[in-house]
Structure 1
Amino acid sequence: MKGESVKQAERECRRIALSHYENFLVASVLLPRRLKQPFYNVYAFCRTADDLADESATPALALNALSQCQTSLDATFAGNPPAGIFTALANTIEQFRLDKQPFDDLLDAFRQDQQKTRYQTTRELLDYCRRSANPVGRIVLKLAAVDADVADLERSDQICTGLQLANFWQDVARDYAIGRIYLPQSELRTLGVSEERFAEMIQQRSTLPELKTLIQAECDRAQTCFDLGAPLCDHVPKWLGRNLRLFVGGGRATLEAIRAIDFDVIRIRPRVSKGTQACLILRSLIGR
Structure 2
Amino acid sequence: MSVDHYENFPVASVLCPPALRPAVAAIYYFARTADDLADEGDAPTAERAQALHDYRADLAAIVAGQAASPRWIHVFQPLKREMHRLQPALLHDLLDAFEQDLTPPRYSDRAQLLDYCRRSANPVGRLLLGLYGVNDGDALRRSDAICSALQLINFWQDFSRDGPNGRLYVPQADLDRHGVSAGDVLACRDSPAARALIADLCGWARTLMREGAPLALALPGRAGWELRFVVQGGLAILDKIEARGHDSLLHRPALRVWDAPRLAWRALTMRAAP
Question: TM-score w.r.t. structure 2 length?
Answer: 0.89
Structure 2 residue aligned with 1:36: 21
Which residue is equivalent to 1:128? 116
Q: Report the more deviating stretch, 185-194 or 126-135.
A: 185-194
Whether 2:137 is the aligned partner of 1:150: answer yes
1:275 aligns with 2:265: no
1:89 to 67, 79, 90: 79
Q: 1:25 to 1:52 in 2, by over 3 A?
A: closer
Question: Which residue of 72, 76, 81 corresponds with 2:58?
Answer: 72
Q: C-alpha separation between the residues in 1 aligned to 2:96 and 2:45?
A: 14
Larger Rg: 1 or 2? 1
With over 3 angstroms needed to count, the CA separation of the structure-2 counterparts of 1:53 and 1:287, relative to structure 1, is farther
Give 1:187 deviation, angstroms: 1.8
Please give the per-residue CA displacement for 1:69-120, whole angstroms capped at 9, x wherever unaligned.
10000111111131512121111112x2x21111011000000011224211
Cα drift, residue 221 of structure 1: 0.8
Residue in 2 aligned with 1:9? none
Partners of 1:237 and 1:65 lie apart in 2 by 40
Equivalent residues of 1:121, 1:186 under 8 A apart: yes
What is the CA-CA distance between 1:149 and the residue it aligns to? 1.2
Counterpart CA distance in 1 for 2:11 and 2:46 is 35
For the residue of structure 2 that corresponds to 1:49, the secondary structure is: helix
Q: Report the equivalent of 2:34.
A: 49
User: Which residue of 2 is the match for residue 260 of structure 1?
Assistant: 243
Q: Which amino acid aligns with 2:152?
A: L
1:183 maps to which of 170, 185, 193 = 170
**One-letter amino acid matched to 1:62:** R
- Distance in 2, matches of 1:287 and 1:86, equals 40
The answer for unaligned runs of 5 or more in structure 2 is: none
The equivalent of 1:215 in structure 2 is 198
Aligned length: 264
Greater helix fraction, Structure 1 or Structure 2? 1
TM-score by length of 1: 0.85
Q: Tell me which amino acid in the other structure corresponds to 1:87.
A: Q
Shift of 1:213: 1.2
Q: Secondary structure at the match of 1:127?
A: helix
2:182 and 2:266 map into 1 onto residues whose CA distance is 43
Summarize the Cα distance change of 1:20–1:267 in structure 2 as closer, same or farther, 3 Å threshold.
closer
The one-letter code sitting in structure 2 at the alignment partner of 1:46 is A
- On the 8 A contact 1:105/1:132 being kept in 2, the answer is yes
CA distance in 1, matches of 2:17, 2:266: 18
Native 8 Å contact 1:26 1:281 kept in 2: no
- Give the Cα separation in 2 of the matches to 1:183 and 1:24: 21
For residues 222 and 196 of structure 1, the distance between their equivalents in structure 2, rounded to whole angstroms, comes to 23
- RMSD of aligned alpha carbons: 2.2
The CA deviation at 1:223 is 0.6
Distance in 1 between the 2:11 and 2:109 partners?
Answer: 35
| Inter-partner Cα distance in structure 1 for 2:264 and 2:52 | 34
- SS for the counterpart of 2:13 is helix
CA shift in 2, pair 1:179/1:52, >3 Å: same
CA deviation profile, 1:168-219 (whole Å, cap 9, x unmatched): 00111211111101011122123222234445x52xxx42111111111111
2: CA distance between counterparts of 1:103 and 1:191? 36
- Shift in Å at residue 225 of structure 1? 1.1
Partners of 1:41 and 1:198 lie apart in 2 by 36
Of residues 231, 234, 248, the one that matches 2:231 is 248
Task: Give 1:30 deviation, angstroms.
Answer: 0.9
- Give how far 1:25 is off: 8.9
Instruction: Tell me the CA shift for residue 44 of structure 1.
Output: 1.1
Change (3 A) 1:282 1:51: farther
